[in-house]
Amino acid sequence: MSLTHIPVRRLLLLTALSLAASACAGLAGEPIEPTVEVIPPSDTPKPTETNTPEPTSTATPVPTATPSLTPLPTATPTATFTKTPLPAGWVEVPDVIGMYYRDARNLIIRSGLNFVYRDVLDLDLPTGTILIQNPFPGSGKPAGGLVFLFRTFQAPPALVNTICYPLRLINTGGRLLYYVDLEQDQMYEIRTDFKYGQTSIFDSQMFLLESFVNSKTDTVDFVAPYTARYVLALGPFSITQRDLDNSNGAVNAGCLYVIPVEA
């Protein structure tokens, strides 16, 4: 086929394709360099970083508890007593409790008073100690009035059984004193051949409960009204110093019996 027979449109197309193939053949042997796009520096300033401070946390103050002070109780003022002056002719009773009898007696007499006393059994205080006084110390009495004293004494124990408790006289006069512990409502035979005075039964405050005359009888049945300590007193007696000297200072004076009676 000759070129004259090819239409002009196809001829133009073939020519374009030939040119394109030649161009591709030329490019096949050369490396393709990457295209780098250079961006010119911009005059626009960069934004400045601003360090924004973190918000400071403000501590909320904790309310302080106001201490409530409890007022101390007001001390009640001690009542003061004004001593009333004694009437004319009256004197103040001195305090003699705990004093020895002789000292108490002298103090009472110097105060312008008189006294009487009663002996009471007390095994804890020395004999002759003033245990109680009446009226009480500091009170008033007419001059020459009486103060009642209770003076202590001690005594040895007597046996409660059928055995003879020996009686001995070591002074020329006086009474023999003993104490016994007796049970309530129990009957006791109290017997003695002591020949002087009486045999008396007292409570510890020396109130007489029973007695008998030793020259007339030698026994009594005694029922204890309560369980307590009782005092047995024998006498008074009187002997001579010669009797004591002849007996080496102790005269035998018989026996004392305190015998429980069986019902």
Closest CA to 187 of 231, 224, 230: 224
What does DSSP say about strands 187-192 and 219-223: parallel, antiparallel, or unpaired? antiparallel
pLDDT at 122 over 50: yes
* Cβ atoms of 198 and 178 closer than 8 Å: no
Going across the sheet that includes 114-121, the strands are 114-121, 146-153, 130-134
**Rg, Å, the chain Cα set:** 66
Please give the model's pTM, rounded to 2 decimal places.
0.63
Report the relative pairing of strands 161-169 and 219-223 from DSSP bridges: unpaired
Q: For the chain, what are the domain ranges?
A: 90-153, 161-260
∠ CA 117-122-128, nearest 5°, is: 45
Would you place residue 172 in the very low, low, confident or very high pLDDT band (cuts 50, 70, 90)?
very high
What confidence score (pLDDT) does residue 23 get?
44
Question: Phi then psi for 109, rounded to 5 degrees?
Answer: -65, -40
Q: Which of 155, 152, 176 is nearest to 239 (CA)?
A: 176
| Residue 72 pLDDT | 63
**Helix, strand, or coil (residue 140):** strand
The domain over range 161-260 is classified in CATH as 2.60.120.380:
yes
90-153 folds as Trypsin Inhibitor V; Chain A (3.30.10)
Average pLDDT taken over every residue of the chain = 81
Mean pLDDT of 45-68: 53
Q: What is the C-alpha separation between 240 and 176, in angstroms, rounded? A: 16
**Per-residue pLDDT for 58 more than 60?**
no
SS3 content of the chain, % helix, strand, coil (to 5): 15, 35, 50
Taking residues 218-227, report their average pLDDT.
96
The 3 state secondary structure assigned to 15-45 is HHHHHHHHHHHHHCCCCCCCCCCCCCCCCCC
Model pLDDT, residue 184:
97
The whole-number pLDDT of residue 237 equals 97
Q: Flag whether pLDDT at 8 surpasses 60.
A: no
Separation in Å, CA 167 to CA 171, 197, 258: 12, 14, 13
H or E stretch including 146?
strand 146-153
- DSSP reduced 3-state for 130: strand
Q: Does the pLDDT of residue 69 top 70, yes or no?
A: no
